[in-house]
């Protein structure tokens, strides 16, 4: 998601290192998957020229593996872009790794009107929150049904009255279908298009 007025690109759940994690366990996953995700992110930075990128957690999937080197090389391509990591449950590396790679690590990131967090707030917490909450973590998806009883689950952007949940940017992730209400606004990702549903 791009916040034009603040020149800020907001990205959730890249999960770099997940491929290496699975490959280390002997599970065959294509090696270039995450490099392709970083390439797409690079294209967005070159196109939009953000001053800041906010990562809504789960930047790196788990324990250290060789995929970290790709992430570190990638961040070095953009020394003038502020890289902010809102720490997620998978971001377990020592803080020195992140700072060495140019990431500022925070638990939450707040502006006058928005609160950026990793996990969505629970319904009971939302009335206490004065800012609109933007999160990731659950890899939101929506199930589409066709007339011939076929169905397709796609990633989506979810906007509720008090909070938004962004889709996982990394392709090597699952999807969790969200329940919507009449006040929800959902945008599905269909190939290279974002479509209002």
| Higher pLDDT pick, 115 / 15 | 115
For the whole model, what pTM was predicted? 0.88
Query: What is the reported pLDDT for 63?
Result: 75
Domains for the chain: give ranges and CATH numbers: 2-196 (3.60.21)
Q: What is the pLDDT of residues 56-67, one digit of tens each?
A: 999 987 777 778
Q: DSSP of 133-183, one letter per residue?
A: EEE-SS-EEEEEE-TTS-EEEEEEEEE-SSEEEPPBSSSSS--EEPP--TT
- The mean pLDDT value of the chain amounts to 88
Residue 84 contacts residue 52 (beta carbons within 8 Å): yes
Query: What is the reported pLDDT for 52?
Result: 98
User: Tokens 């902010």 map to which residue?
Assistant: 84
Q: What is the pLDDT of residues 16-44, one digit of tens each?
A: 876 555 455 555 555 665 678 899 999 99
Query: What is the reported pLDDT for 114?
Result: 96
Confidence grade of residue 149 (pLDDT, cut at 50, 70, 90): confident
Distance CA 194, CA 197 (A): 9
| Higher pLDDT pick, 47 / 152 | 47
Question: Could you give the percent of the chain with pLDDT greater than 70?
Answer: 91
Q: Cα dist. 2→12, 44, 118, 136, 140 in Å?
A: 12, 9, 17, 15, 18
Q: What is the pLDDT of residues 80-115, one digit of tens each?
A: 999 999 999 999 999 999 999 999 999 999 999 999
Assigned token pair, 150: 């076929």
Q: What is the pLDDT of residues 40-55, one digit of tens each?
A: 999 999 999 999 999 9
Query: What is the reported pLDDT for 143?
Result: 85
Assigned token pair, 55: 């990562």
């Amino acid at each position: 998601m791009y916040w034009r007025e603040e020149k800020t690109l907001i990205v959730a759940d890249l999960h770099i290192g997940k491929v290496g994690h699975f490959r280390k366990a002997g599970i065959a996953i294509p090696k270039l998957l995450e490099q392709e995700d970083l390439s797409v992110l690079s294209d967005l930075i070159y196109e939009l020229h953000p001053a800041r990128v906010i990562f809504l957690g789960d930047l790196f999937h788990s324990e250290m593996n060789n995929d970290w080197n790709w992430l570190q090389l990638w961040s070095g391509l953009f020394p003038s872009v502020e890289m902010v990591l809102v720490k997620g449950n998978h971001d377990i590396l020592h803080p020195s790794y992140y700072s060495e790679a140019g990431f500022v690590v925070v638990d939450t990131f707040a502006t006058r009107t928005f609160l950026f967090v990793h996990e969505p707030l629970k319904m009971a917490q939302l009335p206490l929150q004065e800012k609109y909450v933007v999160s990731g973590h659950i890899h939101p998806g929506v199930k589409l049904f066709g007339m011939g009883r076929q169905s397709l689950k796609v990633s989506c952007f979810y906007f509720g009255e008090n909070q938004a949940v962004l889709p996982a940017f990394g392709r090597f992730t699952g999807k969790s279908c969200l329940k919507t209400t009449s006040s929800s606004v959902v945008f599905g990702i269909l190939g290279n298009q974002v479509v209002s549903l």
